[in-house]
Structure 1
């Protein structure tokens, strides 16, 4: 008999201060805030698409949806979200359904944490 292991994920999504400060410095605080808000809305919309693509088993569309998410995450300083996005794409490419499910769950958790921080009005260093 094999032992079943229960994992307790402890992911931390954070906004990279340097990226946010550079946006604010280069574009001004109000423009940077507008970009951040629009990017978070875009991420939320893409997560709906990602869930739909996965539930339909459409891995080509899923890969495109995740691939489109990565530069947005990089632009607004979400390096972990971008990195996990790359991990999801790798698991799609390898064809491992268990690894895909696990990395996709991690991607969604990281994205939801980042959006929750922004919605709660936490200081994002802008």
Structure 2
């Protein structure tokens, strides 16, 4: 009989706080908050789209969602999230469904934590 062990990994997230600082410096508080808010909403939409595209086995839509997510994530300092999304696309293009499922789970975990961290960072600036 095989035993299945559930693994819970709390991965450290890495955000580039300089991106938030630059946004506030270039756009002022109101402008930066508008940009951050819009980016966060768009990121959430793209994460949902990525998950659906993977689960429904639509590789072209995975590519579109990653291409949309990348500049949004980088705009608000989520460099690691952008890299993991690129890894997901790589798994999809190779047809590696096991790796794809693992990377998708990682992307969702990171996405949730990154969205919260950017909001917290923006709150501290404001």
Range of TM-score over shorter length = 0.7 to 0.9
- Distance (whole Å) between structure 1 residues aligned to residue 40 and residue 49 of structure 2: 14
Q: How does 1:88-107 map to 2 (within 5 A)?
A: 88-107=88-107
Corresponding residue of 1:78:
78
Corresponding residue of 1:20:
20
TM-score (norm 2): 0.85
Corresponding residue of 1:122:
120
Runs (4+) off by over 4 Å: 1-6
Q: Secondary structure at the match of 1:122?
A: helix
Q: Does 1:64 align with 2:59?
A: no
Unpaired segments ≥5 residues, structure 1: none
Q: Does 1:34 align with 2:34?
A: yes
Q: Does 1:110 align with 2:110?
A: yes
Q: Which moved more, 1:101-110 or 1:4-13?
A: 4-13
- Distance (whole Å) between structure 2 residues aligned to residue 74 and residue 86 of structure 1: 12
- Distance (whole Å) between structure 2 residues aligned to residue 123 and residue 73 of structure 1: 15
Provide, for residues 42-90 of structure 1, a one-character-per-residue CA deviation record: whole Å limited to 9, x for no partner.
0111122112212211111112112210110001111111111111111
Q: Secondary structure at the match of 1:9?
A: coil
Indicate the RMSD between aligned Cα atoms, in angstroms. 2.1
Checking the alignment, whether the CA contact within 8 Å between 1:67 and 1:89 is kept in structure 2 is no
Q: Secondary structure at the match of 2:120?
A: coil
The structure, 1 or 2, with the larger RCO (C-alpha pairs under 8 Å, 6+ apart) is: 1
Instruction: Give the structure with the larger helix fraction.
Output: 2
